[in-house]
Structure 1
């Protein structure tokens, strides 16, 4: 017979987890002393192996509770479902690894990044597919595809340039740069915009009035910075029209 501490060391399962399994009636101690000490026997190891084995296959503790009540298992469909769930998680893990590799490269290329800018770029990369679907309700498919052709695949060089432009715009707002100085910075921003979209912004001013979904399109700018930036962009677009 093993005390809970001895049983924990033998099985590699923490005392806290063993107590939780006891509370859930998954694995009750074989004996509890008058002072409340839990003791386990070798047979309890077999029960614990069933629990840990099913957990490894992706079953929830609630599902395991139900299975432990059954003398025979017919779990083919459940196993197929768990396999499907694990494959889905594997796809997500691979995406997260790609995102981590991208963010590491981005951080190495930019020694100092404002948190708002960094998080906005990460979130925009995460929501890229949803953003494209959303934009295609307002713009031709080929225009949207062109917008994302550059940034798809975590383009560190492109995003590093974008970080630099955003930083410049934030400094311009804070220090109240002249329109000429701001326009010079915006030239760099417009150079990132696909030619067809830029022409549409000139000929269809209502495009500037589209309210982007803030959950899908997180902004690195504060509300005040954003309003100031939109005003400067609109003024600059008006100047382009008169040229």
Structure 2
């Protein structure tokens, strides 16, 4: 027999994990002394290997618990289910790698980025599909599709320009730039969109009325900055419409 410490070293499984498996009735010690010391036998190594292998296949401990109670396994359906779960994880991993590559490129193109700006851009990239669905409840589908065709996911050049403009607007708020100076920065922002698309947006009556979902659309601006920016934007749009 092996005391729990020796069994842990032999199997490479921590004492804490072995105690947890005991609590879950996944792997009970073969013998417990009067003083509460746990002892294991060679057969317990085989049981532990089964648990480890099932975990490798993606089974949860609760699933393993149920399987270990069965004398016979009709496991094909369970394996197919685990395969699908792992394939979904693989898709997520690939997306995360693409996002990491994008963020590395974005960081390289902007040596200094305020954390709130960087985080907002990443979060908005993660929620792009949900954002598009949400916006289509307010604007025509073709306008939303055109907007996201310009600011598509992982477009480093576009987002690098956007970071520059956001930084300029934050500086403008802090230093109380004149309306003319702020409008110049806002024009640069709108220049990121094709002129025809920009003009179509101006004719949308809901443009300034929309209340964005904060869970979907992350803002790099503080509440005070947003209120100031909306005021400047409304004034600028009125000027455009009267021309």
1:221 equivalent in structure 2: 221
Q: How many Å separate the matches in 2 of 1:51 and 1:198?
A: 59
Q: How many Å separate the matches in 2 of 1:200 and 1:102?
A: 30
Choose 204-213 or 88-97, whichever is displaced more: 204-213
1:71 equivalent in structure 2: 71
Q: How many Å separate the matches in 2 of 1:37 and 1:109?
A: 59
Flag structure 2 segments of 5+ consecutive residues without an equivalent. Answer: none
| TM-score of the pair, normalised by structure 2 | 0.95
Q: Extract structure 1 runs of 4+ deviating beyond 6 A.
A: none
Q: How many Å separate the matches in 2 of 1:111 and 1:207?
A: 34
1:38 equivalent in structure 2: 38
Choose 196-205 or 86-95, whichever is displaced more: 196-205
Q: CA deviation at 1:205?
A: 4.1
Q: How many Å separate the matches in 2 of 1:153 and 1:124?
A: 9
CA 201–153 in structure 1, closer or farther in 2 if over 3 Å, else same: closer
Please say if residues 31 and 38 of structure 2, whose CA atoms lie closer than 8 Å, have aligned partners that are also in contact. Answer: yes
Q: How many Å separate the matches in 1 of 2:213 and 2:104?
A: 27
Please say if residues 138 and 206 of structure 2, whose CA atoms lie closer than 8 Å, have aligned partners that are also in contact. Answer: no
Q: CA RMSD in A?
A: 1.3
Q: CA deviation at 1:126?
A: 0.3
2:133 equivalent in structure 1: 133
2:207 equivalent in structure 1: 207
Please say if residues 106 and 160 of structure 1, whose CA atoms lie closer than 8 Å, have aligned partners that are also in contact. Answer: yes
2:242 equivalent in structure 1: 242
Please say if residues 51 and 64 of structure 2, whose CA atoms lie closer than 8 Å, have aligned partners that are also in contact. Answer: yes
Choose 224-233 or 163-172, whichever is displaced more: 224-233
Please say if residues 29 and 38 of structure 1, whose CA atoms lie closer than 8 Å, have aligned partners that are also in contact. Answer: yes
Q: How many Å separate the matches in 1 of 2:54 and 2:203?
A: 62
Q: CA deviation at 1:47?
A: 0.5
Q: How many Å separate the matches in 1 of 2:163 and 2:215?
A: 20
2:195 equivalent in structure 1: 195
1:144 equivalent in structure 2: 144
Q: CA deviation at 1:206?
A: 3.1
Q: How many Å separate the matches in 2 of 1:155 and 1:206?
A: 27
- The alignment status of 1:108 with 2:84, answered yes or no, reads no
- What is the SS of the residue equivalent to 2:39? strand
Count of equivalent residues: 243
Q: CA deviation at 1:164?
A: 0.6
Q: CA deviation at 1:222?
A: 1.1
- The alignment status of 1:181 with 2:185, answered yes or no, reads no
Please say if residues 128 and 153 of structure 2, whose CA atoms lie closer than 8 Å, have aligned partners that are also in contact. Answer: no
| TM-score of the pair, normalised by structure 1 | 0.95
1:61 equivalent in structure 2: 61
Q: How many Å separate the matches in 1 of 2:194 and 2:28?
A: 66
